[in-house]
Structure 1
Amino acid sequence: MWGLLGRTMAKVSMVKPSTLVKPVSLTKIAGRYLAHQGGLPKLPVPPLKQTCERYLAMLEPIISEEEMSQTRTLMAEFLRSGGVGERLQKGLERRARKTENWLSDWWLQTAYLDYRMPVVVYSSPGVVLPRVEFSDRQGQIRFAAKLIAGVLDFKTMIDNETLPVEFSGGSHCQEAPTHITVVHNFQFFVLDVYNSDGSPLTVDQLYIQLEKIWNSSLQTNKEPVGILTSQHRNTWGKAYNNLIKDKVNKDSVRAIQKSIFTLYRSRAAAHMLHGGGSRWNSGNRWFDKTLQFIIGEDGSCGLIYEHAPAEGPPIVSLVDHVVEYTKKTEMVRTPMVPLPMPQKLRFNITPEIKKDIEKAKQNMNIMVHDLDVRVIVFSHFGKNLPKSHKMSPDAFIQMALQLAYFRVYQTCCSTYESASLRMFRLGRTDTIRSTSSASLHFTRAMDDPTLQNTEKVALLQKAVQAHRSYTDMAIRGQAIDRHLLGLKMQAIEDLTSMPELFMDTAYAVAMHHNLSTSQVPAKTDCVMCFGPVVPDGYGVCYNPMEEHINFAVSAFNSCEETDATKLALGLQRALLDMRDLLEQTPKAKL
């Protein structure tokens, strides 16, 4: 497996791009991306009473009436005139006036930096790309060369500021790296990907350099240093400090950290999320890198990205561009200019580092065996069907998920769906609450033989519309989750006692997402996957294509209550039953 490690590709370099690529003078507008970001509105602070009312409505289907009564009492106290709620709201509004985005720093800290579980499985999503047919090793290396060239082409558009603007947030790189890291047989190589005149290496040049790396990395008796990055963050932090005590190791780590991205090559297909364990490819990774491409000998390809600096949409934009680039026919052959041998990075392995690596191997293997991922292609229909019934495809799929879950557990649960806040300055995400009173009424009714189809369709329409309304509210910055987080963080910053509302059982239930879901639509026929966010939950990601839907469903084998296969099959059945319901009820109209 070829492995390529990367920085965030969809971020703008603040270094003048002329040091790397020649500007496209007719289309470049200096500072274009920064100007667009500055022109976006600030993320609003929703009205306090509105959020509290919507919070209570969200709780109704997922907690008992007794718990609901307790929460209403706490809410009344929280909203009391001149009380703690008003004080925290005013503090939040002051923060919003003084900062570019009142949420972004808190969100980065609480969602990613404070979270100490490994980034592998628990945070970093993987992307499974369409399988590629290789006739031999040379075909694999040539595809890897084209993929690198495609990523560099995307980067050129970023550096030249000619990429179509997408309204999303993000920090900006302070330097412009000129190399990538290539990993094979647990060995890391620095591959310079720009010529001395600043032009990117061509596919032919990249092919020659990758051949050199392959020939130099045939021995496999190297320690898999990269597996250290898969550890619990505190454990990796200690191992990192041990590793960089040695100057050679420190220089090698810095070279990996500064690379544009990383590419891996493997002898077998491995899970994009974790590499398959210590005997396979988990050591051919550096999980702290923002972007890592993986190319297997059997044609399996994909990538994994570290979530802290990047959301799905810019990654999908990159994927779509690169996949299309690799399909292009190469018309021009490059005059061969002698290129230096890529530098192999050295690591001095002390007994202490060896011990850290062995511990990381054991923990990684436990994670790999515990995670169950089911990737399915639902081929009966795609987003074309719900659209033909004037329904949002995303809302339709979410209601199928609600139905599948309800059929398995005879109850509904707290469900998270990611909503983009990219229309706001430095915007990240908020939560679409897919479980609602309307969704519960629909799921209960679906298998009720006493109800007519027309009644079931009406309830489906109401559930879909409720989800659509919540989605619209969320992307306008009016959802409840980030506002509640802001109020909670404000209380912490004010050094006051935590309001009882946030110590309530109902709040814990609301934040325990048994279903963590995300729609990641791409032009490429791919699917993203990630692990559950709670021990007894599921991770569900989907890419709705026009006539089919790609799903990835994950669960932990260590939890007796969850079963990825059962939910995946239930999801397919739910989609078919909903289709049949609509097609057997011709008068169904929104």
Structure 2
Amino acid sequence: MAEAHQAVAFQFTVSPEGIDLQLSHVAFKEIYLSGVRSWKKKCNQLRNGFVTGVYPASPSSWLFMVTAILVTQYSRLDPSMGMIDKIKEHLPVSGYLSDQGMNILSAATFSTVLWLALIMTMRSILKMLLCYHGWMYEEHGKMSNTTKIWLALVKMFAGRKPMLYSYQASLPRLPVPALKDTMQKYLESIRPLTTDAEFQRMAALARDFEQTLGPRLQWYLKLKSWWASNYVSDWWEEYVYLRGRGPLMVNSNYYAMDFIYVTPTPVQAARAGNLVYAMMMYRRKLVQEEIKPMLIQGCLPMCSAQWERMFNTTRIPGMEGDSIQHLQDSRHIAVYHAGRFFRVLLYHNGRMLRPRELQAQFQSILGDPTPPSPGEEKLPALTAGERDPWARARNAFFQTGQNEQSLSIVEKAAFFVTLDTSEQGLREPNPGQSLDAYAKSLLHGRCCDRWFDKSFTLIVYRNGKSGLNAEHSWADAPIVGHLWEYCLATDAFTLGYDAYGNCKGDMDPNVPPPQKLQWEIPPECEAVIMQSFRVAYNLASDIDFHAFTFKDFGKGLIKKCRTSPDGFIQLALQLAHFRDKKKFCLTYEASMTRLFREGRTETVRSCTIESCNFVKAMMDPTQDDSARLHLFRVAAEKHQNLYRQAMTGAGIDRHLFCLYVVSKYLGLDSPFLREVLSEPWRLSTSQTPIQQLELFDLQNHPDYVSCGGGFGPVDDNGYGVSYIIVGEDLINFHVSCKVSSPETDAHRFGLNIRNAMTDIALLFKANKKFAARGDQ
């Protein structure tokens, strides 16, 4: 009960001898240190807000401006053309200052106004420059003079040493595509997937929509785009994620894996200690805005808004829709192990716990023999099942007493940690099967040992392997990937372990131990928990997963073939899918729109007329390799153009989605939009980017490569495919599908992917002269 005593700052007892006052110096010290930390944080936020608010200028430039104006004043020059004298006449403090003081104050006022005007001008110019995307359509290695001049201007106005959010005010808004263009691109995308009669019917629906209801809906969207920071993102978050009533597990949440070949330590508590410490270091950098904004070509900024809710964030279930609860700070994490919940404080004596101290905290939990209280063991299953039962249970059983307090600790934690009782990773005697099991474990676990509502759950296994499971509504995978890259690199190369696999450094033995959370789960609530568990268990049991490494070649060879690695892989997936199912399907590839403010994702429809022509040629034994290679190049170029359009706001799927939302707000029914939004994505794909190559030295440490991450299938009869391009010679794939579907098999599709990649590479080897000519 040590922590309970420390929670009371003073106690007093009234007796015949008087009042006996007992002060707790420890408690007062904690209160004092907490206050100091809070004020430091507020001061940092004010400072960061000011520095970001005046970017691309700097606070020191204001002093330079004031000094320069004052020097000209004393030189009897007036760069203000009389404005300083006008300001001097209207200053309300003329009766309190000398004439010299009035001169200085009026000059400083004029300098400040001029400085702010220059900042606004620089931001406006930078925003206009960032609206240009012609550079993206130029051939790699061949930059036009226009782009060179534009790039020089961007570097001139972009400023130096930006903080994480420095560019937010300078990013352009996402444009609303022309309705005519979206209709044309949509019809082009479905042409290879429909018969002539089906296409004519959809073309008629599209023409009718474009001429009647479409312009009205388009007007509302344009109005929103002028007013809102982003005309898509808030509706995307609400209707695609928060309004969803199905389980988050498998359907929405995704995962990230540890290193493939290396486990830095086999000591579970030590690995958890280092990783948690690395995450807290990352959070500190995030709060202080020291994380560098993502830049393309070293100077073109991408939106950083999604970083804001990485920590201290939980998705709260509701009856009609969920909500996102984000706190400015949290001083603890919630930990789950063997059916029990614990709170681990992250600070002691005003400082963050060291890795060795965190290891001791986790070791204490691992050694705690206390059994779970009734209903506690499978309590997290509430977050794995349907959302409405969880919302009703939360309102009925977690609003008072110990349940309310314990749930508040979980939901207000910086993040969630699961000390898993199983062992995972690439293990003998069957490495392939163990990697599949590892992926499934990260995706859904035992359905009752991850808090799927938290922004992310750190999972550390008994053998020291680790991974993340992330909730999707608050941000997309690259944001979580950036955190995970930092944590893996910091854990392995900065913090390290001693010869026994323990965390390095000293520890304070007076750090309070973890606090076990208490629950009072009534039988009615246990019934809801078990129902959610059964739903989640059935869903998890139906997931077939295949994670594998492709080592035959990587982006090094693909680039020598003068083609895009992503385009190469996407065409290989089209070929593999046709071989797998003997038909084409609507294909989703995720692309980012973070060149715009608050941008998230757009869809690249990878199944095109050109890709289908290439696949048909590959399946036709009468076609020669030269013709196939020609069709490959045409299809790859088409894919790259679609990817560029998606990145630059000219995609079609977010536009169609928002048109549909507007139609629902207006109470109007559109047969065209209703049919478009109901089309199934039988092949859903995503590339996991490596964003911080400087953190990993693959030449000296070639085994320290990540396996990337994955997600569940989007369609019951389809595949989900994630891939990560690592270094020059490795590509990792994650394939998911439903066991219950007679059409799919993850391992069969994985084999088809391998064969398709190899067969396309053979086209270039068989046509070296043809490939070298660039298909001219």
Select 2:421's aligned residue among 267, 271, 280.
267
Is 2:567–2:639's contact at 8 Å kept on the other side of the alignment?
A: yes
Unaligned runs of 5+ in 1: 1-14
Question: Is residue 74 of structure 2 the alignment partner of residue 74 of structure 1?
Answer: no
1:511-566 superposed Cα distances (whole Å, 9 cap, x missing partner): 31000110012255222111111111111000011211111000001111111111
Offset at 1:581?
A: 1.2
Question: Is residue 754 of structure 2 the alignment partner of residue 572 of structure 1?
Answer: yes
Mapping for residues 372-391 of structure 1, pairs under 5 Å: 372-391=544-563
Q: Distance in 2 between matches of 1:360 and 1:334?
A: 44
2:177 matched to which residue of 1?
46
Q: Distance in 1 between matches of 2:234 and 2:50?
A: 31
- 1:238 alignment partner, SS class: helix
Mapping for residues 164-563 of structure 1, pairs under 5 Å: 164-166=292-294, 167-168=302-303, 169-170=305-306, 173-197=326-350, 199-216=351-368, 219=371, 222-269=376-423, 275=441, 281-328=446-493, 330=495, 333-334=505-506, 336=508, 338-495=510-667, 497-504=668-675, 507=676, 511-522=679-690, 524-545=705-726, 546-563=728-745
Point out the structure with max Rg over C-alpha.
2
Is 2:686–2:722's contact at 8 Å kept on the other side of the alignment?
A: yes
Q: Distance in 2 between matches of 1:398 and 1:123?
A: 22
Q: Distance in 2 between matches of 1:337 and 1:156?
A: 24
The one-letter code matched in structure 2 to 1:159 is V
1:255-314 superposed Cα distances (whole Å, 9 cap, x missing partner): 111111111112213666764899x74322111001111111134321100000010111
Is 1:54–1:480's contact at 8 Å kept on the other side of the alignment?
A: yes
2:213 matched to which residue of 1?
84
Cα distance change on mapping 1:39 and 1:556 into 2, 3 Å: same
1:354-397 superposed Cα distances (whole Å, 9 cap, x missing partner): 11122122222211210001001111111112111111111110
1:130-180 superposed Cα distances (whole Å, 9 cap, x missing partner): 2554775xx221111110111111111111111101323335544211111
Cα distance change on mapping 1:98 and 1:16 into 2, 3 Å: farther
Q: Distance in 1 between matches of 2:708 and 2:236?
A: 26
Offset at 1:26?
A: 12
Q: Distance in 2 between matches of 1:134 and 1:392?
A: 34
The one-letter code matched in structure 2 to 1:399 is L
Cα distance change on mapping 1:26 and 1:358 into 2, 3 Å: closer
Q: Distance in 1 between matches of 2:764 and 2:720?
A: 28
The one-letter code matched in structure 2 to 1:262 is F
Mapping for residues 5-20 of structure 1, pairs under 5 Å: 18-19=40-41
The one-letter code matched in structure 1 to 2:40 is S
Q: Distance in 2 between matches of 1:535 and 1:458?
A: 35
- 1:216 alignment partner, SS class: coil
467-476 or 216-225, larger mean C-alpha shift: 216-225
Mapping for residues 101-180 of structure 1, pairs under 5 Å: 101-131=230-260, 132-133=262-263, 139-166=267-294, 167-168=302-303, 169-170=305-306, 173-180=326-333
2:194 matched to which residue of 1?
63
Offset at 1:193?
A: 1.1
Cα distance change on mapping 1:436 and 1:305 into 2, 3 Å: same
The one-letter code matched in structure 2 to 1:269 is E
Question: Is residue 765 of structure 2 the alignment partner of residue 583 of structure 1?
Answer: yes
1:472-512 superposed Cα distances (whole Å, 9 cap, x missing partner): 000001000001111111111222x22231244xx257x31
Q: Distance in 2 between matches of 1:118 and 1:438?
A: 37
Unaligned runs of 5+ in 2: 1-36, 54-162, 295-301, 310-325, 425-436, 497-503, 694-704
Cα distance change on mapping 1:398 and 1:218 into 2, 3 Å: farther
Cα distance change on mapping 1:218 and 1:544 into 2, 3 Å: farther
Q: Distance in 1 between matches of 2:637 and 2:227?
A: 37
- 2:352 alignment partner, SS class: coil
Q: Distance in 1 between matches of 2:641 and 2:38?
A: 43
Q: Distance in 2 between matches of 1:75 and 1:273?
A: 41
Task: Compute the TM-score of the two structures, normalised by the length of structure 1.
Answer: 0.91
Cα distance change on mapping 1:28 and 1:526 into 2, 3 Å: farther
Is 2:269–2:360's contact at 8 Å kept on the other side of the alignment?
A: no
Q: Considering only aligned residues, what root-mean-square deviation do their CA atoms show, in Å?
A: 2.5
Q: Distance in 2 between matches of 1:571 and 1:277?
A: 22
The one-letter code matched in structure 1 to 2:730 is H
- 1:79 alignment partner, SS class: helix
Q: Distance in 1 between matches of 2:645 and 2:717?
A: 29
- 1:61 alignment partner, SS class: helix
Q: Distance in 2 between matches of 1:24 and 1:379?
A: 50
The one-letter code matched in structure 2 to 1:424 is F
The one-letter code matched in structure 2 to 1:527 is G
569-578 or 164-173, larger mean C-alpha shift: 164-173
Q: Distance in 2 between matches of 1:493 and 1:120?
A: 30
**RCO higher in structure (CA 8 A, sep ≥6):** 1
Cα distance change on mapping 1:133 and 1:528 into 2, 3 Å: closer
Q: Distance in 1 between matches of 2:583 and 2:39?
A: 55
The one-letter code matched in structure 2 to 1:112 is Y
Is 1:265–1:296's contact at 8 Å kept on the other side of the alignment?
A: yes
1:5-47 superposed Cα distances (whole Å, 9 cap, x missing partner): xxxxxxxxxx978349989999994564444222211111011
Is 1:293–1:303's contact at 8 Å kept on the other side of the alignment?
A: yes
Offset at 1:571?
A: 0.5
Q: Distance in 2 between matches of 1:576 and 1:300?
A: 32
Cα distance change on mapping 1:27 and 1:79 into 2, 3 Å: closer
Offset at 1:243?
A: 3.0
Cα distance change on mapping 1:24 and 1:296 into 2, 3 Å: farther
Q: Distance in 2 between matches of 1:351 and 1:26?
A: 50
1:307-334 superposed Cα distances (whole Å, 9 cap, x missing partner): 0001011111111100001113548733
Offset at 1:435?
A: 0.5
Cα distance change on mapping 1:382 and 1:347 into 2, 3 Å: same
Offset at 1:241?
A: 2.2
Cα distance change on mapping 1:135 and 1:108 into 2, 3 Å: closer
Q: Distance in 2 between matches of 1:96 and 1:23?
A: 29
Cα distance change on mapping 1:25 and 1:68 into 2, 3 Å: closer
- 2:348 alignment partner, SS class: coil
Offset at 1:240?
A: 2.1
Q: Distance in 1 between matches of 2:717 and 2:569?
A: 22
Is 1:126–1:305's contact at 8 Å kept on the other side of the alignment?
A: yes
* Between structures 1 and 2, the one with greater helix share: 2
